[in-house]
Chain A
Amino acid sequence: MQPNDPILKLRDVQVHFPVKTGVFKRVTGHVRAVDGVDLDVRRGEVLGLVGESGCGKTTLGKAILQLVRATQGTVTYSGEDGETELTSLDDAGLFRFRKRLQIVFQDPHSSLNPAFTIFGSLEDPLRHYGVKTREERRKIVGDLLEAVNMRRESMDRYPHEFSGGQRQRIGIARALSIEPELIVCDEAVSALDVSIQAQVLQLLMELKREKNLTYVFITHDLSVTEYLCDRIAVMYLGKIVELCDAEDLYANTLHPYSQALLSAIPVADLDKKSRRIVLQGDVPSPVNPPSGCPFHPRCRYVVDRCKTEVPELRRFKSAKGEHMAACHLIDQPLAEQPLRTESP
């Protein structure tokens, strides 16, 4: 197991939710929340998953954890015991792998059960994974709370007694409780004040170093990802439109959608003039995605070809390893091969 080996491989993952209308609940269409994603998550990296709300990034995160089952495609986990296709397992079979993958949620107000003390919320998963005695569980929960810079005694308090940042830290402690290898952070800091955001992010990074974690960091906020992520995948309407090294994304943006997203980040540096690219219109409905390039109704560079032909995710030349983007207009393709055929 090399540090850069993929821990997760996603191949053509699709999550479609049926839309039911009328009295008889006939299926009249599908929300294509995730529409064919190919992605490798490398062991030990922080992979940012960026996009506007509704682009399917949260659904993709849940599909990684099998909280939402993919309607098509595969999610493969590889660890010491070889590769396992999570998408083909049932709940009982997944049990072993639940321990390896965890999630930290966005909303600190709904992420903890208001009726239980912190210990009450955190002890059940531990019991589930075989920590038999109450003393042991209390010790572990106490250690976890200390690991996220909280007092041990907090475990006997109720969630409403804590601030948003504290609850988020408790949420992180919960995710760590069964010692996972990969944590999906779903907008983990978006609901927090900026100052508290920074602290929680630092905490996440320290924990990552201490425990050799891999993060999939889902966010709509590109100003967070730059300092945090090793690689970034930009999603639009259920598809990945650009995937590259984090620095590369900021220095050498290829896809028009990423350019628009990046231009929306407020710039502190006054010398650095940036013209904001304002996207016209709304995100199209994922029930009825546009033909051809999904971004074409809002794209500044749209040409006729975009309306009919779906751009493949192609590999481009870059100083920092691979740089993938799905757009017809980017020239100098390194190799014209689509990603799907690349891996065994």
Chain B
Amino acid sequence: MTDANATRPRTRRDAQFDKIRDREAALAGTRQHTARFMSKFLNNRLAVVGFVIFAVICLMSLFAPLIAQHDPMSPNLRAIAKPPSAEHWFGTDKTGRDVFARVLYGGRVSILVGLGSALLSAIIGVIIGVYSGYVGGWLDWIAMRISEIFMSFPQIILVLLLVAILGQSLLNLIVIFTLTGWGGIYRMARARMLSIREEEYVQALRSFGLGPARIAYKHMLPNALGPIMVNITLSTAAFILQEAGLSFLGLGVPLSIPTWGNILNAAQDLRVLEQNWWIWLPVGATISLFVLSVNFIGDGLRDATDPSQQG
């Protein structure tokens, strides 16, 4: 193809272009995409603090068996509702279980529920939203209506229904969160697609006759990832709070499994609330800290991926 080009005599235009090229090569940005993203994220102190807290809590939960000296499940009848001590850092609860161990182990389940539901709903929402947003038409219409149905359905009633039919379980909770949660990410992904669809590079790909799935998932999705990641972090935080709320009401994960919500559940007892602060305060603080840190990360991501904020 370039044979003609190679043998072509050099014209004045070539010389001009060479000059321009050299100038451009000297100017050409050495900072890559990812580098800019990282520097913007790292410049956001809150986001970094959030990320550190998030990492510490996650790692501690992950390595709970190595850190905690007590079994979170086994009662110790000689140490019922004891205040914090060297033996039990966060004290013990009403059946003599070590609260520190329970907070660590509870974190595993709570984070799993939060992150798991957020990721699952993101996967569903993105798969549907990216395609239907790009293709449009009746497919888009149907997807939109379905998401509206799920989003307008009161979550608590769905939970009651499923608990009544299937019983309480970890999996049920994740399923419910995913069902009620995918709509948000779907809508966002779809909205992004609607605006990206008009970009000329998409038109160019179409003019090559590339298939819609390939254009939507391979070429357009990477440009929508920023807001999608932000949304995943934010909905992780929301799901963890919801888990805590539902478990507090006794509707979430079965009480035998320690989760942050189930530990809080003990605080339903007024006596515990008034006299045994160590049973609910540490876990309450942990939840707040974790949710806050996730939100900070989300904000940091949002700023770092926002192209309108140069940095």
Q: Is the CB of A178 within 8 A of B208?
A: yes
Contact with B along A91-108 (1 / 0, CB 8 A): 100110010011101110
Residue in B1, B13, B209 whose beta carbon sits within 8 Å of that of A143 in the complex: B1
Contact with A along B200-227 (1 / 0, CB 8 A): 1101111111100010001100110000
Contact with B along A126-164 (1 / 0, CB 8 A): 001100000000001001101101110000011011110
Q: A91-B209, A105-B204, A162-B24 are in contact. Are A149 and B199 (CB under 8 A)?
A: no
Q: Is the CB of B201 within 8 A of A113?
A: yes
CB proximity of A180 to chain B, nearest CB, Å: 9
Q: A106-B200, A114-B223 are in contact. Are A128 and B207 (CB under 8 A)?
A: no
User: Cβ of A210: which chain B residues have Cβ within 8 Å of it?
Assistant: 4-5
- Residue of B with least CB distance to A196: B20
CA distance A18 to B282 in the complex (A): 61
CB proximity of B6 to chain A, nearest CB, Å: 8
Check if A38 is an interface residue, CB within 8 A of chain B: no
Check if A111 is an interface residue, CB within 8 A of chain B: yes
Q: Is the CB of A111 within 8 A of B207?
A: no
Q: Is the CB of B1 within 8 A of A147?
A: yes
Q: Is the CB of B28 within 8 A of A202?
A: no
Check if B29 is an interface residue, CB within 8 A of chain A: yes
Q: Is the CB of B24 within 8 A of A199?
A: no
Check if B275 is an interface residue, CB within 8 A of chain A: no
Residue in B4, B5, B17, B204 whose beta carbon sits within 8 Å of that of A111 in the complex: B204
Q: Is the CB of B208 within 8 A of A128?
A: yes
Q: Is the CB of A95 within 8 A of B207?
A: no
User: Cβ of B5: which chain A residues have Cβ within 8 Å of it?
Assistant: 143, 146-147, 210
Is the interface on chain B under 10, 10 to 19, 20 to 34, or 35 or more residues?
A: 20 to 34
Check if A174 is an interface residue, CB within 8 A of chain B: yes
- Residue of B with least CB distance to A106: B200
User: Cβ of B218: which chain A residues have Cβ within 8 Å of it?
Assistant: 124
Check if B16 is an interface residue, CB within 8 A of chain A: yes
Check if A110 is an interface residue, CB within 8 A of chain B: yes
Check if A125 is an interface residue, CB within 8 A of chain B: yes
Q: A110-B200, A113-B219 are in contact. Are A125 and B1 (CB under 8 A)?
A: no
Check if A253 is an interface residue, CB within 8 A of chain B: no
Q: A91-B209, A125-B210, A161-B29 are in contact. Are A111 and B200 (CB under 8 A)?
A: yes
Check if A7 is an interface residue, CB within 8 A of chain B: no
Check if A78 is an interface residue, CB within 8 A of chain B: no
User: Cβ of B25: which chain A residues have Cβ within 8 Å of it?
Assistant: 151
Check if A23 is an interface residue, CB within 8 A of chain B: no
From A94, A105, A144, residue with most partner B Cβ within 10 Å: A105
Contact with B along A66-87 (1 / 0, CB 8 A): 0100000000000000000000
User: Cβ of B4: which chain A residues have Cβ within 8 Å of it?
Assistant: 210
Residue in A105, A147, A179, A199 whose beta carbon sits within 8 Å of that of B13 in the complex: A199
Q: Is the CB of A166 within 8 A of B208?
A: no
- Residue of A with least CB distance to B210: A128
Q: A111-B201, A158-B32 are in contact. Are A166 and B17 (CB under 8 A)?
A: no
Check if A197 is an interface residue, CB within 8 A of chain B: no
Contact with B along A37-78 (1 / 0, CB 8 A): 000000000000000000000000010010100000000000
- Residue of A with least CB distance to B6: A146
User: Cβ of B269: which chain A residues have Cβ within 8 Å of it?
Assistant: none
CB proximity of A153 to chain B, nearest CB, Å: 9
CA distance A334 to B1 in the complex (A): 46
CB proximity of B4 to chain A, nearest CB, Å: 5
User: Cβ of B210: which chain A residues have Cβ within 8 Å of it?
Assistant: 124-125, 128
Check if B45 is an interface residue, CB within 8 A of chain A: no
Q: Is the CB of A102 within 8 A of B219?
A: no
User: Cβ of B214: which chain A residues have Cβ within 8 Å of it?
Assistant: 124
User: Cβ of B28: which chain A residues have Cβ within 8 Å of it?
Assistant: 157, 161-162
Check if B74 is an interface residue, CB within 8 A of chain A: no
- Residue of B with least CB distance to A202: B13
Q: Is the CB of B16 within 8 A of A199?
A: yes
CB proximity of A159 to chain B, nearest CB, Å: 9
User: Cβ of B201: which chain A residues have Cβ within 8 Å of it?
Assistant: 110-113, 121
Contact with A along B1-19 (1 / 0, CB 8 A): 1101100000001101100
Chain B residues 281-299 with CB under 8 Å of chain A are none
User: Cβ of A151: which chain B residues have Cβ within 8 Å of it?
Assistant: 21, 25
Chain B residues 25-82 with CB under 8 Å of chain A are 25, 28-29, 32-33
User: Cβ of A158: which chain B residues have Cβ within 8 Å of it?
Assistant: 32-33
Check if A1 is an interface residue, CB within 8 A of chain B: no
Chain A residues 184-219 with CB under 8 Å of chain B are 199, 202-203, 210
Q: Is the CB of B200 within 8 A of A105?
A: yes
Q: Is the CB of A98 within 8 A of B207?
A: yes
CA distance A179 to B4 in the complex (A): 14
Check if A335 is an interface residue, CB within 8 A of chain B: no
CB proximity of A32 to chain B, nearest CB, Å: 21
Residue in A103, A144, A160 whose beta carbon sits within 8 Å of that of B207 in the complex: A103
User: Cβ of B222: which chain A residues have Cβ within 8 Å of it?
Assistant: 113, 115-116
CA distance A144 to B1 in the complex (A): 8
Residue in B1, B16, B32 whose beta carbon sits within 8 Å of that of A179 in the complex: B1
From A106, A124, A129, A171, residue with most partner B Cβ within 10 Å: A124
Q: A124-B205, A179-B1 are in contact. Are A107 and B200 (CB under 8 A)?
A: yes
- Residue of A with least CB distance to B220: A113
Q: A111-B200, A147-B2, A210-B5 are in contact. Are A94 and B205 (CB under 8 A)?
A: no
Can you list 28 A-B pairs with a CB-CB distance of less than 8 A? A65-B207, A95-B209, A98-B207, A101-B207, A103-B204, A110-B200, A110-B201, A112-B201, A113-B199, A113-B201, A113-B219, A113-B222, A113-B223, A115-B222, A124-B208, A124-B214, A125-B205, A125-B208, A128-B209, A129-B208, A146-B5, A149-B21, A150-B21, A151-B21, A161-B29, A174-B204, A202-B13, A203-B13
Q: A67-B203, A125-B205, A147-B5 are in contact. List 6 more A-B contacts (CB 8 A).
A: A106-B200, A121-B201, A124-B205, A146-B2, A146-B5, A174-B204
- 7 tightest A-B CB contacts, nearest first: A98-B209, A115-B222, A105-B200, A125-B208, A111-B200, A149-B17, A143-B2
